[in-house]
Amino acid sequence: MKFPDQFLWGAATASYQIEGGGLEEGRGECIWHRFSHTPGKVMNGDTGDVACDHLHRYREDVALMSDLGLQAYRFSVSWPRVLPAGVGAINPAGLDFYDRLVDGLLEAHIQPFVTLYHWDLPQALQDRGGWENPDSVQWFADYAALMAGRLGDRVKDWITLNEPWVVAFMGNYTGDHAPGKHDLSAAYKAAHHQLLGHGKAVPLIRSAVPDAKVGITLNINYFDAATDSEADQLAVQRQDGYVARWFLDPLYKGCYPTDIVELVGDALEGIDLDAVRAAAVPTDFLGLNYYTRNTAAYSQEEPLHIDLVKHDHDRYTEMGWEIYPDGLRKLLIQLHQDYAPGALYITENGAAFEDPAPTDGVVEDPERAAYLNAHFEAASQAIEAGVPLKGYFVWSLLDNFEWAYGYSRRFGVVYVDFETQRRVLKRSALYLRDVIQGKA
Ligand code: IFM
């Protein structure tokens, strides 16, 4: 594996998944607080009330990052921690926390990458329609400007949104995520307003932080057809349009993909589709969260006529996601060819496996280490093929609250005993350290 000298190695987390601290220190309620406290929504009734207690243990966690030799750390800001009602009154204790975290990272020579929105919308804004409400564009822009103004003297790398597809469709269409709706038209509105919010926020971040590097993070799997049949080939195109091009085309071309517009038709009623040109503001990088391949086949089911099929092999993680490292190489090359972002970062990649209890101060997780190794190799091949990939953030630093799965899925390279909050390095963390130090 070869990586350029300036290549950045890091790990990623998200506020609601690790911070805990409940509604302490003036943090407002977020949609995941409401959702996880609603019986039946999250496995085992788990909530993010305590999570990894990172709010109180961030110093220890920064020390862990240092110990692993991480050069960068991607974390998200909890919007309701800094603006409890989403707009208006600021919570100084919330801003102070992120100040301390950033200072701690910089002291440890770890470059902070801040994600502004990683799913914990203030509940007060959801009560006003959330991302479905056109006002959400301005709410987000104001919040982005607040954070850039506060942290911009020290934070140069900014990500506006994490996985807007998941926010829109899993939150509002499948209902698996907060706010738990089943309304396709609400999902398309939520997608549209996130795109416009991104478009409005980017120049505000730039004016607060003239030397900022700003980007957005999308979740894109590698899409393949189940068979060579024309019907399955077309299903792949639709899957790609539904998940990837619906965001990439607005961001890089200023318009929605017409094939999907025609397909979903009525669900787009009330959306001024042309307005999406405002999302095509220049950015510095595209963040890619890559985990797996989706294999699509034709199905009768409206509106997309897609069935995602499983292969007959055992290369699946505990999430039921196929392990397909070569998809990362192919996807990076595709993105570079089709959209030519100035730079790319892998802002998330990692795997959930059932981990054994720690023995002799380490957790043996050979499958996770092998998963990372194979994906690092794929990334290095993409670089060799000319992709301007600048860095790689492993998901995740710590085992954490895996949304609707609660604490039942462990993605960390660091094991967390949620009873005691003890952190234990996994073998994959030691492997990551070796890679960073050029020893693996
Ligand atoms: O835990 C999530 C993260 O919040 C967003 N990307 C996928 C991860 C694993 O499901």
Residue 49: what pLDDT?
Answer: 98
Q: Is the pTM higher than 0.75?
A: yes
354 as an active site residue: the answer is no
Q: What's the 265 CA to ligand 1 centre distance in angstroms? A: 30
Assess contact for 355 and 417: CB atoms under 8 A: no
- Ligand 1 nearest-atom number relative to CA 396: 1
pLDDT tens by residue, the chain, 440 residues: 999 999 999 999 999 999 999 999 999 999 999 999 999 999 999 999 999 999 999 999 999 999 999 999 999 999 999 999 999 999 999 999 999 999 999 999 999 999 999 999 999 999 999 999 999 999 999 999 999 999 999 999 999 999 999 999 999 999 999 999 999 999 999 999 999 999 999 999 999 999 999 999 999 999 999 999 999 999 999 999 999 999 999 999 999 999 999 999 999 999 999 999 999 999 999 999 999 999 999 999 989 999 999 999 999 999 999 999 999 999 999 999 999 999 999 999 999 999 999 999 999 999 999 999 999 999 999 999 999 999 999 999 999 999 999 999 999 999 999 999 999 999 999 999 999 999 98
Report which protein residue has its CA nearest ligand 1's atom 1: 402
Which residues sit with their C-beta closer than 6 Å to ligand 1?
A: 14, 17, 163, 289, 348, 395, 402, 411
Q: How many Cβ atoms are within 10 Å of 29's Cβ, its own excluded?
A: 19
163 as an active site residue: the answer is yes
Q: Biggest alpha carbon distance in the chain? A: 60
Residue 440: what pLDDT?
Answer: 85
Domain regions of the chain by residue span: 8-436
Assess contact for 347 and 393: CB atoms under 8 A: yes
CA 345 to chain centre: 12
Residue 171: what pLDDT?
Answer: 99
Q: What's the 65 CA to ligand 1 centre distance in angstroms? A: 19
Tell me, letter by letter, the H, E, C secondary structure of the chain: CCCCCCCEEEEECCHHHHCCCCCHHHCCCEHHHHHHCCCCCCHHHCCCCCCCCHHHHHHHHHHHHHHCCCCEEEEECCHHHHCCCCCCCCCHHHHHHHHHHHHHHHHCCCEEEEEEECCCCEHHHHCCCHHHCCCHHHHHHHHHHHHHHHHCCCCCEEEEEECHHHHHHHHHCCCCCCCCCCCHHHHHHHHHHHHHHHHHHHHHHHHHCCCCEEEEEEECCEEEECCCCHHHHHHHHHHHHHHHHHHHHHHHHCCCCHHHHHHHHHHHCCCCHHHHHHHCCCCCEEEEECCCEEEEEECCCCCCCEEEECCCCCCECCCCCECCHHHHHHHHHHHHHHHCCCCEEEEECCCCCCCCCCECCEECCHHHHHHHHHHHHHHHHHHHCCCCEEEEEEECCECCCCHHHHHHCCCCCEEEECCCCEEEEEHHHHHHHHHHCCCC
Please tell us whether the domain made up of 8-436 is placed in CATH 3.40.50.150.
Answer: no
Q: What's the 327 CA to ligand 1 centre distance in angstroms? A: 18
Q: What's the 255 CA to ligand 1 centre distance in angstroms? A: 27
Report which protein residue has its CA nearest ligand 1's atom 10: 402
Of 19, 29, 348, 367, which is the active-site residue? 348
- Ligand 1 nearest-atom number relative to CA 348: 6
- Ligand 1 nearest-atom number relative to CA 14: 4
